[in-house]
Structure 1
Amino acid sequence: MRSIRIGAGAGYSGDRIEPAVELAENGGLNYLVFECLAERTIALAQQARMKDPSVGYDPLLAARMQAVLPICRANNIRVITNMGAANPIAAAEATRALARQLGLAGLKIAAVTGDDVLDTLKTANIALDTDDTIHGLGNRIVSANAYVGARGIAEALASGADVVITGRAADPALFLGPLIHEFGWAWDDWDRLGQGTVVGHLLECAGQITGGYFADPGLKDVPDLARLGFPIGEVREDGELIVTKVAGSGGRVTPATVKEQLLYEIHDPAQYIQPDVVADFAAVTVEEIGRDRVRVVGGRGRPKTGLLKTSVGYLDSYIGEGQISYAGPGAVARGRLALEIVKERLVLTGVATSELRCDLIGANALHGEARAEGHEPYEVRLRVAGRTETMAEAIRIGNEVETLYTNGPAGGGGAWKSAREVIAVASCLVPERAAELCMSMLVA
């Protein structure tokens, strides 16, 4: 039975580039997929695009493409990515310019658009999952991007694209698209689409399934994490998946690493709602068939809902933060005194915070009061962070921490401060027809 090999070149925007190069060189791939979008990432990209219409795509696009395109062209590997973020057209244009610089004449780059549904939402006044509405957010809205499915990717591949660049496609759809294209799966073959979603979900986070997110020394040891290899999916025409990696690369592929990734970010394994199908993972079986080779079958599916999850980015507030360290005898006591000083100063100076967090990192930042084994930490780092309505108030929080240098307990050092705008993300559901997919082809 015919099969193809798909490599996962990235699991998030800032992921390592070397494992993708290793996959392109030694993975025997047909496709290399870069999954680089998170919920908040695209809102930030939309904000950047508003300031400069020529940007809004992944900042590592050029570096990734420069590293892999010559190898992929030589090895007949097609590239699929959502690095287009808020501006797939500009990302495709940048990729074409780079391809020409690299001497890759004739390379076909497709930009798939249509996930941006902001104009539709503004007229519909749809309810959000935050007890607010689109109209309620007013002019604070930055973006609204629907999670579109695999159709645009499959159609771009059918049109001969060597590189497919999308915006906010659903993560598994990046892998499901080439499977539908290669094997001719019908758009209502729900069990095939369900198993294809299993494939995409397992591969989408790259190094997580090869041991990166799995490792826990002494309990779940993983070798050579500094050279972690990213996964390869060998997928048969019937949907059977074998998860593996490049021989000799770091990490491991085992039933345990696969099972952890299978359940990652899954609310109901029997109803994993995707744009193309409602996938059912309940009958999935995982079997080790060799070193770093795990067979996965049993994904099923039911008809899609006709609705698309949509991430709405909006300006929520501002966060001011300050940090300073204390070390030596009495470090915890001095840190606590410093915190009390800062909290009182914020009241005295009238800094209004809707939320204030005060931590002593090393003593209580993660689990409340740390369970020390009969002694206090030798060093702690004070951190104060507050949510405000204005940037000016956010700045004042860090300033108050910094003044502890000379106006607080003895021995403070390494002060640091910041103030930033907070782009929050809410979700809603929109009809599938709201996302009008369009494919533009550019040739180097």
Structure 2
Amino acid sequence: MDQEVLRIGCAAGFSGDRTDAAGPVVDALLQAGGPAALIFETLAERTLALAQVARRADPHRGYEPLLDELIGPILARCLKGGIRIVSNMGAANPRGAALRIREIAAEAGLPAPRVAVVSGDDVCGAEQRDTLHACLGSALGGREIVSANAYLGAEPIAAALRAGADIVITGRVADPSLAVGPALAHFGWRTDDWDRIARATMAGHLLECGAQVSGGYYADPGLKDVPGLARLGYPIAEIDADGNCVVTKPAGTGGEVTEHTVKEQLLYEVHDPSAYLTPDVVADISGASVEDLGGDRVRLAGVRGKPRTDTLKLNVCFESGWLAEGEISYAGARAEGRARLAAQVLRERLQGLGTLRADLIGVASVFGDDGGEWLSAHAGADARDVRLRVALRHADRRSAERLLREVTALYTCGPAGGGGVRTSLRPTLGTLSGLFPRERATAAFEMLE
């Protein structure tokens, strides 16, 4: 077993994250020397469904739209410095993403990297339909399935790295597994070494949302001030042979890694601290310790593990109709009253189509509700700078389009002084989650030739 510390940097926490984040992380990994990996976590439930829609329209698409911008600037340095890249940016088309990375390398005059593609998460095929219906019961009904994905774990990633992959591209794997895979491959842990795998899982959990752990989501001026927020450094985890880790960030970057930022991220999206379910392990952080070492270095230890479950998380996306939105602004004397009247006009004109959501941006929007109760309870403020936003969901496109026409008509049909109309119409996707039998999801990897 290799006892040398493994450094894993994270350069993205979601699809659409900053594309310049990887540079300082790669520089820090190269400067530190030793074995290292770089992960990009770009896949959420909604992101994967949209990727499936994109692939339906064009079979060459369906992977992370920002792949070129994320991978291109750091590919040469990672290949030269031996930094392995692991990412779920394959989304609905991991092979397409892998082929594009090979093209990027060729365009830059680099030797062809060894790129592995992990498969098995897509369980939408005809042979799985009976299993899907059994998992979801009557909840699925007769809905048109867009995507169905089981959350795979770290084992195929580790196997690909042990086989010599420079880059591993996946579809839907659990976010922490992006870090557990390199740790399994590097340290040679047994796949039932629950404590070590649980510790690496929580290291991955700290990394998976990118700059959240280095001060981004933590910042709240006047209460939790964070320096250099415009130049946040993304996190690096130094994982030891027992799976414990020290979280840090590149020197000279903004943000901070402290006991508080780590504790916030440690608890993020954790329902039961004694049983955090992942495909690799059930992690128990109820006895974990977080120690601030100073200098943007925080140690996490004391995580325990329990055997993984016999099921994997399942996420199914389905077509759910159309969302129509419209906005119009009112300013000056009695602006709020005019905006409220406009909302009432739209409710009357669109009566019978469903619930019309109305928000007065600047008065009541974040706390608002679909029924309009909050809006009614906070009348009379007489705001002078108001933007009315209305939205309607409908199964039928033509019915949803009526909202667009009615908002536009407010220009001359009143109330007075409305302007800056903007409308949009887009298909919507619904999601259902369930538990999928582990033995029905066959995880594997393929090395591109």
| TM interval, short-chain normalised | over 0.9
3-state SS of 1:403 partner: helix
Q: 2:135–2:436: 8 Å Cα contact kept in structure 1?
A: no
By how many angstroms is 1:193 displaced? Answer: 1.1
By how many angstroms is 1:124 displaced? Answer: 2.4
Distance 1:8 1:399 in 2: 45
Residue 13 of structure 1 pairs with residue 11 of structure 2: no
3-state SS of 1:56 partner: coil
Residue 200 of structure 1 pairs with residue 204 of structure 2: yes
Distance 2:339 2:112 in 1: 62
Distance 1:5 1:98 in 2: 25
Equivalent position of 1:123 in the other structure: 130
Instruction: Pick one of 21, 46, 52 that aligns with 1:46.
Output: 52
By how many angstroms is 1:27 displaced? Answer: 3.2
Cα 1:125–1:187 change in 2 (3 A) is closer
Equivalent position of 2:398 in the other structure: 392
3-state SS of 2:263 partner: helix
Instruction: Pick one of 327, 337, 340 that aligns with 1:336.
Output: 340
**Where in structure 2 are the equivalents of 1:133-172 lying within 5 Å?**
133-134=139-140, 136-138=141-143, 140-172=144-176
3-state SS of 1:323 partner: strand
Equivalent position of 1:27 in the other structure: 29
**Where in structure 2 are the equivalents of 1:7-406 lying within 5 Å?**
7-28=9-30, 30-119=36-125, 120-127=127-134, 132-134=138-140, 136-138=141-143, 140-347=144-351, 352-353=353-354, 355-368=355-368, 369=374, 376-406=382-412
Equivalent position of 2:371 in the other structure: none
By how many angstroms is 1:436 displaced? Answer: 1.1
3-state SS of 2:356 partner: strand
Q: Deviations over 1:258-282 (max 9, x none)?
A: 0000111111111111101111111
Q: Deviations over 1:298-342 (max 9, x none)?
A: 111111111011110100121111000111111110110000111
3-state SS of 1:98 partner: helix
The AA in structure 1 aligned to 2:317 is G
The AA in structure 1 aligned to 2:311 is L
The AA in structure 2 aligned to 1:317 is G
Q: Deviations over 1:114-145 (max 9, x none)?
A: 1001124312253566x7344x234x101101
Q: 2:334–2:383: 8 Å Cα contact kept in structure 1?
A: no
What is the RMSD computed on CA atoms of the aligned residues?
1.8
Q: 2:235–2:248: 8 Å Cα contact kept in structure 1?
A: yes
3-state SS of 2:90 partner: coil
The AA in structure 1 aligned to 2:142 is L
Distance 2:134 2:388 in 1: 40
The AA in structure 1 aligned to 2:363 is A
3-state SS of 1:10 partner: coil
Distance 2:281 2:151 in 1: 13
Q: Deviations over 1:175-215 (max 9, x none)?
A: 00001110111111111111111101011001000010000
Distance 1:124 1:185 in 2: 32
The count of corresponding residues between Structure 1 and Structure 2 is 436
Residue 432 of structure 1 pairs with residue 438 of structure 2: yes
The TM-score, its normalising length taken from structure 1, stands at 0.95
By how many angstroms is 1:79 displaced? Answer: 0.4
Identity %: 50
Distance 1:185 1:391 in 2: 53
Distance 1:180 1:287 in 2: 25
By how many angstroms is 1:153 displaced? Answer: 0.3
Distance 1:286 1:197 in 2: 15
Distance 1:124 1:27 in 2: 44
Cα 1:299–1:207 change in 2 (3 A) is same
Q: 2:319–2:430: 8 Å Cα contact kept in structure 1?
A: yes
By how many angstroms is 1:364 displaced? Answer: 1.3
Instruction: Pick one of 2, 5, 18 that aligns with 1:3.
Output: 5
Q: Deviations over 1:7-60 (max 9, x none)?
A: 001000100011111111233371110000001111111121122211111111
The AA in structure 2 aligned to 1:123 is D
Residue 415 of structure 1 pairs with residue 449 of structure 2: no
By how many angstroms is 1:98 displaced? Answer: 1.2
3-state SS of 1:426 partner: strand
Q: 2:20–2:70: 8 Å Cα contact kept in structure 1?
A: no
The AA in structure 1 aligned to 2:419 is G
Distance 1:68 1:25 in 2: 9
The TM-score, its normalising length taken from structure 2, stands at 0.94
By how many angstroms is 1:2 displaced? Answer: 2.0
